[in-house]
Structure 1
Amino acid sequence: MREFSTPLLATLHMHRNATDLLMERLKNSPEHIAFEVRSADGAVAAPWKQITTREYFLEVQALAKGLIASGLQPGNKLVIMSPTRYEWAQVDMAAWFAGAVVVPIYETSSLDQVTAILADCSPKFIVAGSTDQASILERGLTEAGIGGSRIWTMDTRNDLDLEDLLEVGKSITDHAVEERRVIATSETIATIVYTSGTTAVPKGALITHGNLVGLVLNVAAAYTEVVKETGNTIIFLPMAHVLARGLQLICLANGMRIAHLSEPKEVIPSLEILKPTFLVVVPRVLQKIQDSAAQAANQKRLNLIWKWASDTATQWGEMAEVNDAGSSKQASPSLWMRHFIFDRIFYSRLRKVVGGRLEYLLSGAATLDREVSLFFRGIGLPVIEGYGLTETTAPLTGNMPGSIMSGTVGVPMPGTTVRISDDGEVLAQGVGVFAGYTNPDDNADAFTDGFFRTGDLGSIDERGRITLRGRIKDVIVTAGGKTISPSIWEGYVETDPLIAHAVMVGEGKPFLGCLVLIDSEAVQQWASSQGITDASLFQHRTEGSIDRIRNQRLFQVISDSVSSANNRVARSEQVKEIIMLSTYLGENSELLTPTLKLKRSKFLERTNSFVNEIYDSTKR
């Protein structure tokens, strides 16, 4: 099958633009709790203030008045650069109420990136999270040659902050805001989101109000088991990412309570307090949870029991998937008993760690290993794997509750058609597909026959489920003429918690090699448990350096993971040589996108000497 369509579950005719999502919710449930906001001291464990839909609306309306009073005109660009926080939600919606086009910038962006975005969109109004972000934005405006832009901060500072914006807006009437709010239609551009890019220069994607509303209504209709008034979530993805903003709109429109956290490390401590029913995570988070459980078992000398428990969870997950496909398979008495026992010993404790109310996890941004998905399904935390891009307003496909197939990214979202080209590229058409790029030249190769070219390779089965097979630009053609998609093998290797990223190489070479970036934190814990004190495992010679690691014991462990991955692919796709590397991969690393994907081309540019070493016969 080369094409599959999912019909619309909801139409847009009752919604003029994205602000109607809030207005409808305000009409139906004004006193429902919409947000939970951290206390002034910022402590996770402190009481969280609850904000009703009515209170949120009044705050948004007041900020919109301030923007209008400050001279904002319909269609003006308003930039937001801030970590994930409640004020992001206020300003984002207020900008739409005032008729602005919102341009998010990741708070970790460099000056060059900020300057390029500002030069492309020429904003009149800017809201920064802090004075530091305001400073980099001011420098970006200067370098871009843009004058006359006004900057407010979410944090209090000496000149302009959101309190000043509220004060200046007191002269604007409610009627004036309402007149401005309804100007935008479904075809109006709501936001320009610049792609983070793992290989290319970021491009500005034009996303309409219709894209956002269509996404919200149809995703909510498809996932009624997840999106509900009794549910709640924590958003800790960067709000500059379209998925985070789409998720926020879905929750807001359907009464699902939202809390914001800017630091991913604060998420685990907050789970027992906020007790979410649903979370969006990246595969690496799930792998770390699984590895932490294994380490805890190891410390208690329960290694063999944990392995048995882990295998049992995977088998239970497989049985659940078979039943999703229409079977009525029953667990054997042995499997049922083992699962019952291990649920008391391990699984229930893992569920408690994530708050005790979690019903579903959504995994995106990278491929999730099938066995990891089955494990979480088996312990009672089913993972909904999905797929999307900025240009598709985030979710393009997704597994559905009751129909999860691990290893696939599910079926097209309602109102979407996915087609596989003759070259194997995933093409998309539908309610979430964007209006094009800010630079018309970028649109020339972006569409074919009315379908957006995702740049991803994939296939569709008879039920419409899509399996991804890597990026077109990332394929490797060996000296023997064999075309390899590295992401599948890399995904297998990266399930090892000691490995942060694996990059297969071998373009034009007689065999495949791999550069392995270790996870410094995980390796440090492993080394401590092994009594290894090799400082080179944890320290870099210079900041930002990429250093080779030669510890033989670690090399053997990594080699075992490589061998295991090799056993899962064809012989022509197997890696024969590896080099272990270490570098700083914090939030501001130039090697990572804001969604923590490795910038492959930049990484290979920095590590060219190591690649050459793999193929230098005099050194092997």
Structure 2
Amino acid sequence: MQDIPFLSVPDMLRQNAARFQGKLALKYRKQGKFVTLSYAEFYERALMAARGLKKCNVKPGERVAILSENRAGWVIADMGILTVGGVTVPIYPTNTPEQIEYVLNHSEARIVFVSSKFQYSKLLRIRETIPKVELVVSFERFLGEPELPVCTFYQLSEIDLPVTESEKKQLEAGIDCIGPTDLLTLIYTSGTTGVPKGVPLTHRNILFDAFYTSRKAVVLRECEVHLSFLPLSHVLERTIGYYMMIMNGSMMAFADSIEKVPENMMEVKPTVMVSVPRLFEKIYSRIFENVHQMSVVKRKLFHWAIEVGKKYVEARYIEKRTSPLLAFKYNVADRLVFGKLRERFGGNMRLFCSGGAPLDKTINEFFWIIGLPILEGYGLTETSPAVSFNNFDQVRFGSVGTALEHTEIKTAEDGELLIRGPQIMTGYYKEPAATGESLQDGWFKTGDIGYIENGFVYITDRKKELIITAGGKNIAPQPLENELKLDKYISSAFVYGDRKPYLTALLVPNMERLLEFAREKHIDYYDMDDLVIHEPVTRLMEQRLAEINSHLPQYESIKKFVLLPRDFSIDGGELTPTLKLRRKVIYEKYKDKIEGMYVENGN
């Protein structure tokens, strides 16, 4: 690992602040307009934050929490914490007060950065149960309560007082004392089940992952513009969308919100983005919604272009050969169709990175066809996160790519993927039993089931989420759910059937398509709850499901379904902050509906 030129993350920022001092590092909205900070200014602001934290007596190894949405203050606070040798504890801004209470008490953080009064109010509600918290630092100005002191980030940083040479020298001496094996962060897994576990990651873990991911990607340049919207609390955005961007001298631009991403893409004109599959599913669905509204001639042109693109991508990236005629046809398709699609992403987008959950093969291939390649990878919080991904030289749709350098991946007898490499955590925080279960003989047990073929890793499902039917069949629900979501009338799906005689599903319809269908059929309904139980709607969904089932083995077919009037959500508790299904929560919430689909069979 001697290739990595940095000893710690603050050392990386210090070096690159000198190397790229005039280049833009951060872009964010302030009072309605986008403003920027150069690398030199970013470093200066990080030193100011570190100065304030030192005055608050933050010691090396001490945990400091950040409860905030993505914004410039998040990364400046993070760099300030790390500069004094502290350990950043990110907390999802969507977390409930009870979830926040657990993380703060378990990590023993006494200082918490918050984005707003809304996040501060969550802390007030649990004030009596978080006795170790002494100070709240807010990125926005508001009046706090006496029982929970709050100051602004500007006050902590003493923003009007430049860092003196003696202060800088003292702070940089502290940076020199931070070693690769020192703790950088304590990330609490959002978890699809159970109580979150604290994952400690060192500077070496993160720097290794960012460096070798960048090296494997090959194509990343210093002039990249990254639009950040996936939560920085999540290790994927943290390592790949933040630290790796700083490592390469790229610029991070912060989206106003997940909802504003399409609008922000047109404003910021990013070149790269990190996301989870749900965004790509929604974009794919939206594009085909628009195609559905086109004239017959334009629809035919679109589908011709997709067929040409499919052959071209297969020939160029998989078979490594292409003919002049095919290249000519693709250029025509690109000029007439794909180029116009790319304009909706700002016009400069070069590639996406996807992780966090399996991306449907059809959707991935579609993005490559239209000239917006998705480099799909695989990893977990415990692996910093990346352990493998596809790049332009090695890609197989449906796989999560090949391993990073110095990283070993193998399968256990039951198909569970095991990983060994420098990016693996040392063990769960205060959880020796869980550590012993997950780390054995240097190998990390991922809990994911998969296989390796010609070096490419394929994930089939989570070990604990496999459905074992009453007939003894092992069925992975995620591929089935992805198959269902490809239907134009289905937005979300949850497949169930553990220890049952057949599979059932909770389906969330594509509301736009459903409302269009209701207009066409002159269906009279009161609200969405009423619409989804109307006979023409259930009959339509039965027909769609029959078509999907016709392509599946008998034991994987969906025998019954219930339509839900609203989508799964983070606020509703059905999704993790990274938009993965919380299967146990969904089952408990809709238990009556699910079990009702088995009543006739006496189960």
TM over 0.5: yes
- Amino acid across the alignment from 1:17: S
1:614 to 594, 597, 602: 597
SS of equivalent to 2:288 = helix
**Using a 3 Å threshold, how does the CA distance of structure 1 residues 155 and 550 change in structure 2: closer, same or farther?**
same
Take 2:381 and 2:551, find their aligned partners in 1: how far apart are those partners? 31
1:462-484 deviation per Cα after TM superposition (whole angstroms, max 9, x unaligned): 1x111110111111111211121
Q: Is residue 419 of structure 2 the alignment partner of residue 428 of structure 1?
A: yes
SS of equivalent to 2:100 = helix
- Residue in structure 1 matched with residue 378 of structure 2 by the alignment: 387
SS of equivalent to 1:38 = strand
- Residue in structure 2 matched with residue 243 of structure 1 by the alignment: 236
- Shift of residue 524, structure 1, vs aligned partner: 4.3
- Amino acid across the alignment from 1:112: E
Take 1:416 and 1:74, find their aligned partners in 2: how far apart are those partners? 30
1:430-477 deviation per Cα after TM superposition (whole angstroms, max 9, x unaligned): 121111111222212112321111111001011x11111011111111
- Residue in structure 1 matched with residue 40 of structure 2 by the alignment: 54
| Larger RCO of the pair (alpha carbons < 8 Å, separation 6+) | 1
- Shift of residue 326, structure 1, vs aligned partner: 4.1
Answer with 244-253 or 323-332: which moved more. Answer: 323-332
Contact 2:508/2:567 (CA < 8 Å) preserved in 1? no
Residue pairs, 1:512-591, within 5 angstroms: 512-520=503-511, 523-524=514-515, 527=518, 532=523, 534-537=525-528, 549-583=532-566, 585-591=568-574
2:409 to 411, 418, 431: 418
- Residue in structure 2 matched with residue 545 of structure 1 by the alignment: none
Answer with 110-119 or 499-508: which moved more. Answer: 499-508
Take 1:29 and 1:467, find their aligned partners in 2: how far apart are those partners? 39
**Using a 3 Å threshold, how does the CA distance of structure 1 residues 378 and 529 change in structure 2: closer, same or farther?**
farther
- Residue in structure 2 matched with residue 67 of structure 1 by the alignment: 53
1:214-242 deviation per Cα after TM superposition (whole angstroms, max 9, x unaligned): 112111211231x2112111010111111
1:152 to 131, 137, 144: 137
**Using a 3 Å threshold, how does the CA distance of structure 1 residues 523 and 441 change in structure 2: closer, same or farther?**
farther
1:538-558 deviation per Cα after TM superposition (whole angstroms, max 9, x unaligned): x59xxxxxxx93233433443
- Amino acid across the alignment from 1:218: Y
Q: Is residue 276 of structure 2 the alignment partner of residue 282 of structure 1?
A: yes
- Shift of residue 533, structure 1, vs aligned partner: 5.2
Contact 2:66/2:89 (CA < 8 Å) preserved in 1? yes
Residue pairs, 1:433-582, within 5 angstroms: 433-438=424-429, 439-462=431-454, 464-520=455-511, 523-524=514-515, 527=518, 532=523, 534-537=525-528, 549-582=532-565
Contact 1:456/1:468 (CA < 8 Å) preserved in 2? yes
SS of equivalent to 1:213 = helix
Take 1:107 and 1:274, find their aligned partners in 2: how far apart are those partners? 24
**Using a 3 Å threshold, how does the CA distance of structure 1 residues 28 and 511 change in structure 2: closer, same or farther?**
same
- Shift of residue 183, structure 1, vs aligned partner: 2.5
Take 1:308 and 1:551, find their aligned partners in 2: how far apart are those partners? 36
Take 1:288 and 1:531, find their aligned partners in 2: how far apart are those partners? 27
Identity of aligned residues (%): 26
Aligned residues: 592
SS of equivalent to 2:6 = coil
Q: Which runs of 5+ in 1 are unaligned?
A: 1-7, 541-547
- Amino acid across the alignment from 2:493: A
SS of equivalent to 1:190 = strand
- Residue in structure 2 matched with residue 40 of structure 1 by the alignment: 31
Q: Is residue 104 of structure 2 the alignment partner of residue 118 of structure 1?
A: yes
- Shift of residue 283, structure 1, vs aligned partner: 2.3
SS of equivalent to 2:397 = coil
- Residue in structure 2 matched with residue 230 of structure 1 by the alignment: 223
Alpha-carbon RMSD across the aligned residues, in angstroms, is 2.5
Take 1:279 and 1:271, find their aligned partners in 2: how far apart are those partners? 10
- Residue in structure 2 matched with residue 104 of structure 1 by the alignment: 90
Take 1:318 and 1:560, find their aligned partners in 2: how far apart are those partners? 31
1:570-615 deviation per Cα after TM superposition (whole angstroms, max 9, x unaligned): 2222222222123354442211100111100110111111122111
- Amino acid across the alignment from 1:460: I
Q: Is residue 62 of structure 2 the alignment partner of residue 76 of structure 1?
A: yes
Take 2:480 and 2:425, find their aligned partners in 1: how far apart are those partners? 31
1:273 to 267, 277, 280: 267
Take 1:582 and 1:188, find their aligned partners in 2: how far apart are those partners? 49
Take 2:311 and 2:40, find their aligned partners in 1: how far apart are those partners? 45
- Shift of residue 426, structure 1, vs aligned partner: 0.9
Q: Is residue 196 of structure 2 the alignment partner of residue 202 of structure 1?
A: yes
Take 1:524 and 1:301, find their aligned partners in 2: how far apart are those partners? 21
- Residue in structure 2 matched with residue 313 of structure 1 by the alignment: 306
- Shift of residue 388, structure 1, vs aligned partner: 1.3
Contact 2:490/2:509 (CA < 8 Å) preserved in 1? yes
- Residue in structure 2 matched with residue 254 of structure 1 by the alignment: 248
Answer with 232-241 or 289-298: which moved more. Answer: 289-298
Take 2:78 and 2:348, find their aligned partners in 1: how far apart are those partners? 29
Contact 2:461/2:476 (CA < 8 Å) preserved in 1? yes
SS of equivalent to 2:479 = helix
Contact 2:354/2:374 (CA < 8 Å) preserved in 1? yes
- Shift of residue 381, structure 1, vs aligned partner: 1.3
1:400-451 deviation per Cα after TM superposition (whole angstroms, max 9, x unaligned): 1232211111111222111111100011111211111112222121123211
Contact 1:283/1:366 (CA < 8 Å) preserved in 2? yes
Output the TM-score relative to the length of structure 2: 0.92
- Amino acid across the alignment from 1:451: W
SS of equivalent to 1:376 = helix
Take 1:148 and 1:50, find their aligned partners in 2: how far apart are those partners? 32
- Amino acid across the alignment from 2:38: T
Contact 1:400/1:410 (CA < 8 Å) preserved in 2? yes
Q: Which runs of 5+ in 2 are unaligned?
A: 144-149
SS of equivalent to 1:355 = coil
Contact 2:236/2:356 (CA < 8 Å) preserved in 1? no
2:174 to 150, 172, 180: 180
**Using a 3 Å threshold, how does the CA distance of structure 1 residues 326 and 292 change in structure 2: closer, same or farther?**
closer
- Shift of residue 298, structure 1, vs aligned partner: 3.2
SS of equivalent to 1:582 = coil
- Shift of residue 525, structure 1, vs aligned partner: 5.8
Answer with 165-174 or 280-289: which moved more. Answer: 165-174
- Shift of residue 288, structure 1, vs aligned partner: 2.3
- Residue in structure 2 matched with residue 11 of structure 1 by the alignment: 3
- Shift of residue 152, structure 1, vs aligned partner: 0.8
- Shift of residue 128, structure 1, vs aligned partner: 0.6
**Using a 3 Å threshold, how does the CA distance of structure 1 residues 197 and 430 change in structure 2: closer, same or farther?**
same
Output the TM-score relative to the length of structure 1: 0.90
- Amino acid across the alignment from 2:418: L
**Using a 3 Å threshold, how does the CA distance of structure 1 residues 165 and 306 change in structure 2: closer, same or farther?**
same
- Shift of residue 52, structure 1, vs aligned partner: 0.8
2:126 to 110, 133, 140: 140
- Amino acid across the alignment from 1:103: V
- Residue in structure 2 matched with residue 128 of structure 1 by the alignment: 114
**Using a 3 Å threshold, how does the CA distance of structure 1 residues 195 and 573 change in structure 2: closer, same or farther?**
same
